[in-house]
């Protein structure tokens, strides 16, 4: 008998079915987040921030107080909330453009200051909502609307390794990991550990999730998973980079 999977209790039923494209990785990440919220029972204390881009479609996703901000500014808004009321749990949800381009200064500074918030970043290697432009994590050779002939290392360097960068500057008590929607159990474990890290008041928590975007990758189902599991996984190493006990390595 097939097991019927239910929606996480923390999901807001009225906003379902959601507005993400078929095959999008966002709802998978948000499902793992929803289960973590349920398991840790943090619906009341949690503030969910989302950015500009496809992440903004999650503005009414959860039965959690939420705010959609400006491009790249979700991290500082969450930091502002947390500093004013440390009782609250703050999670900033954003994409690779928001986190590593326009929001990178906020990410870097929040990491250095060891802000006790969580950043959950969905990496699908492009600016999806605006039509598929190149982003900091676009792979070499990958064709996008603003790299129509393929991203060139000579022109624009290598794709951004976000968790690695945060790991290099993170303070004591930080948690930094990269997961993938190709391994949901592991991704959920990372999200849960990041959230527990904030609950314990340790330091900055950061999880990047490798996600899919068949709409802008212009791939069918097989190609989509191929790109995620082969090409993206080869460059973006999955694992924990910094754990709260101070261990630093990519497993």
Partner 1 sequence: MIESPIKDEQKVFVTGNEVIAWAALAAEADIMYGYPITPQNEIMHYWTRLAPKYGKKFLQTEDELSAGFTTLGGILAGRKAFSATAGPGTILFQESISMAEMMRIPMVVVVQQRGGPSTATVIYSQQEVNMVTFGGNGEGWRVVYSTSTHQELYDYTIKAFNTAWKYRFPTFILGDGYQAKMRESLVMYKPSARGIELVKPYTVLGGPGVPGRDRLAVHLRNTFSVEEELYEAVMPAQEEYEQMAVEVVEHDSQHTEGAEIIIIAHGVVSRAAIAAMNRLRNKGIKAGYFRPITLRPFPEQELRKAAGHCSNFLLVESALGQLARLVKEALFNVPVERFDTIYKPGVGITAEELVEAIEKNRKVEH
Partner 2 sequence: MLTKIVIAGEGGQGVQAIGDILAEAGNNEQKEALYIPNFGVEQRGGVSVAFVQISDEQIGSPKFKSADIVMALSERAVQRTKQFVTGDTIFVYDNSLIAPPEVDDEAIGLQTYDTVAPEAFADAVSEQPKSGKIELPRNAKCVIGIPATDTAQKELHPRVFNMIIMGAAVRAAGVVKIETVKQALESKLGKKFADNPKLREMNHQALQRGTELVGEALAKEGALT
Cβ neighbours of 145 (radius 10 Å): 13
Nearest distance from C-beta of residue 96 to partner 1, angstroms = 12
Contact 251, 239 (CB under 8 A): yes
Write each residue from 198 to 227 as x if it is in contact with partner 2 (CB under 8 A), else as -, in one continuous string: -----------------xx---x-------
With the C-alpha atoms ordered 10, 183, 195, 61, is the resulting torsion angle positive or negative? negative
Nearest distance from C-beta of residue 203 to partner 2, angstroms = 34
Interface with partner 1, residue 134, by CB under 8 A: yes
Interface with partner 2, residue 12, by CB under 8 A: no
Interacting span for partner 2 (CB under 8 A) from 33-41, 128-136, 183-191, 232-240: 128-136
Interface with partner 2, residue 69, by CB under 8 A: no
Q: Using CA atoms, how far apart are residues 5 and 219, in angstroms rounded to an integer? A: 27
Nearest distance from C-beta of residue 152 to partner 2, angstroms = 23
Which of partner 2, partner 1, none does 54 bind, CB closer than 5 to 8 A by kind? partner 2
Residue of the chain from 137, 147, 180, 202 that contacts partner 1 (CB under 8 A): 147
Dump the DSSP string for 134-164.
--TTPPTT--BTTBTT---HHHH-SPP-HHH
Longest dimension (CA), the chain: 54
């Amino acid at each position: 008998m097939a097991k019927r999977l239910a929606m996480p209790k923390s999901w807001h039923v009225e906003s379902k079915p959601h507005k993400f494209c078929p095959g999008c990785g966002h709802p998978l990440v948000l499902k793992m987040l929803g289960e973590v919220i349920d398991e840790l029972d943090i619906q009341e204390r949690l503030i969910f921030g989302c950015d500009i881009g496809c992440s903004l479609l999650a503005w009414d996703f959860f039965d959690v107080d939420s705010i959609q901000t400006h491009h790249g500014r979700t991290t500082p808004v969450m930091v502002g909330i947390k500093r004013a009321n440390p009782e609250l749990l703050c999670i900033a949800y954003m994409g690779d453009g928001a986190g590593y381009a326009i929001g990178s200064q906020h990410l870097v500074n929040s990491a250095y200051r060891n802000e006790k918030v969580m950043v959950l970043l969905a990496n699908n290697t492009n600016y999806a909502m605006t039509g598929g432009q190149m982003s900091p994590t676009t792979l070499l050779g990958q064709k996008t609307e603003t790299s129509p002939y393929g991203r060139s290392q000579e022109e624009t360097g290598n794709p951004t390794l976000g968790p690695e960068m945060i790991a290099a500057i993170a303070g004591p008590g930080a948690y930094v990991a990269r997961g993938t929607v190709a391994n949901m159990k592991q991704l959920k474990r990372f999200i849960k550990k990041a959230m527990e890290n904030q609950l314990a008041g340790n330091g900055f928590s950061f999880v990047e999730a490798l996600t899919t975007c068949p709409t802008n990758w212009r791939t069918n189902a097989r190609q989509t998973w191929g790109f995620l599991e082969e090409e993206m996984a080869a460059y973006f190493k999955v694992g924990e980079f910094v754990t709260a006990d101070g261990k630093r390595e990519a497993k």
